[in-house]
Amino acid sequence: MPTVETLAAFFGLSVLLGLSPGPDNIFVLMQSAQRGWRVGLAVVLGLCMGIMVHTAAVALGLAALVAASPTAFLALKLVGAAYLLYLAWGAWRAPVSASGGAPPAALARKLPAGELLRMVGRGVVMNVTNPKVLIFFLALLPQFAHPERGSVAVQIVLLGGVFMLATLLVFGSIALFSGWFGALLQRSARAQRLLNRTASLVFVALAVRLATAQR
């Protein structure tokens, strides 16, 4: 098992990585601002589930196969880019609600459980279809796993759990803050429309970035 010092160092690094601008935290920020903090937290949960998938892939050696296959890498990133373009289209066409002077807390309670589950799935797809995350995990996690400390696969799974915890804390904070700020903007139809258009353009930019990513 990794030492406490190794886990602490990895947790600190994970927090810093979570704070650095990237597709996932930008995605959380825009979804929270556009749909509310509950949606943001649902997306964060989905992203964390995606981290579990990437961690398992590294532990089982599947990530190395994807990294070595140009076809698999291309297919994953094109699927991810197409999904982001789909989200961009939906954000651009999103209707403007007449929330009037409703308080932010009331706006956050309007989504049914089924919609939140759909947002969890959106977070999973967003994370799993990004091959850069998979290759990043393949490069990062083994550096903190030492054969003399026991099973490398078990250590990688544990490190993935630490990374997921750091992601939950950092991205969850982003979701709460941007959701609160976005709820204030939802009181204005003009601000809602601008927020929807901005989210759409951000998703397009993320799609182009992913589609043009190199291994």
Q: Is residue 74 part of a domain?
A: yes
Number of domains in the chain: 1
Q: Is residue 190 part of a domain?
A: yes
Q: Is residue 48 part of a domain?
A: yes
Q: Is residue 7 part of a domain?
A: no
pTM (two decimals): 0.80
Q: What is the pLDDT along the chain (215 residues), one digit of tens a residue?
A: 778 888 999 999 999 888 887 888 888 988 898 888 999 999 999 999 999 999 999 988 877 777 778 887 888 888 888 888 887 888 788 776 655 444 444 444 566 778 889 999 999 998 998 887 888 888 888 888 888 888 888 899 999 999 999 999 999 999 999 888 877 766 667 777 787 788 788 878 888 887 887 76
Q: How far from each other are the two terminal CA atoms of the chain, in whole angstroms?
A: 31
Q: Is residue 17 part of a domain?
A: no
Per the structure, the complete domain to which residue 67 belongs is given by: 23-211
Q: Is residue 141 part of a domain?
A: yes
